Amino acid sequence: MTALSIPLQYPPRFTVTEAVELIDLTLADPAAVADYYRRNRQHLAQSMPRRSDAFYTQAQWQGQVAAYRAGGPGVSEVRLVLRAGPLVIGTVNFSQIFRGGFQACFLGYGLDEAWQGRGLMRNAVRLGRDFVIGELGLNRIMANHLPDNLRSAHLLQSLGFEREGLARRYLQIDGVWRDHVLTSYVRPAP
């Protein structure tokens, strides 16, 4: 496989639990994705940039799916959704895929407030991590979290991510510039 080819197992589809699967955004219903973000608007506002009202619409997600498909899933990003039956309950995204001498990306994720505490995100991130490292051949995944987000800190540490530092005023969350803890997972040496 060359660095820019789509992996053989694309689009990815993984079993997280008996009732929950992790699928590529191209396989998801845009209305269900929009519904996930609407249901969790307040919950997710604590950890993501402010979004316009359009972000929460089916039309927006139809456009996002079309743009992702046109951009070549797996080339510059991998966008995955957690689905329980027809209900979208979370996202796991590997964005800004760098090639060349870097072979890295950024990880972002979110889970429906009603589905927290079941180990779903740990399994989903592990599956996604193993996919981008194994299938896409990346060497490094960078994930950043708010210092007071102990749940994310624990999740990342349990999956082999190591703290690398603190970035001051790193990202605007709900309209406020916030510091973030920088972590990364590096492919184990052969």
Q: Please name every residue paired with 135 in a beta bridge, in sequence order, or none if there are none.
A: none
pLDDT exceeds cutoff 60 at 26: yes
Average pLDDT of the residues in 154-173: 97
* Within a domain: 17: yes
Structure tokens at 126: 């592990």
* Within a domain: 1: no
Measured between alpha carbons, how far is residue 24 from residues 30, 102, 131, 171 in Å?
Answer: 12, 24, 12, 26
Strands 104-111 and 140-145: parallel
Give percent above pLDDT 90 in the chain: 85
CATH number at residue 114: 3.40.630.30
- Give me the pLDDT at residue 9, please: 60
Write out the residue range of the structural domain in which residue 58 sits.
13-186
* pLDDT tens sequence across 27-81: 999 999 999 999 999 999 988 899 999 999 999 999 999 999 988 888 999 999 9
Q: What is the DSSP letter of 80?
A: E
pLDDT exceeds cutoff 60 at 169: yes
Structure tokens at 187: 């492919």
For residues 15 and 7, which has the higher predicted lDDT (pLDDT)? 15
Q: Into how many domains does the chain fold?
A: 1
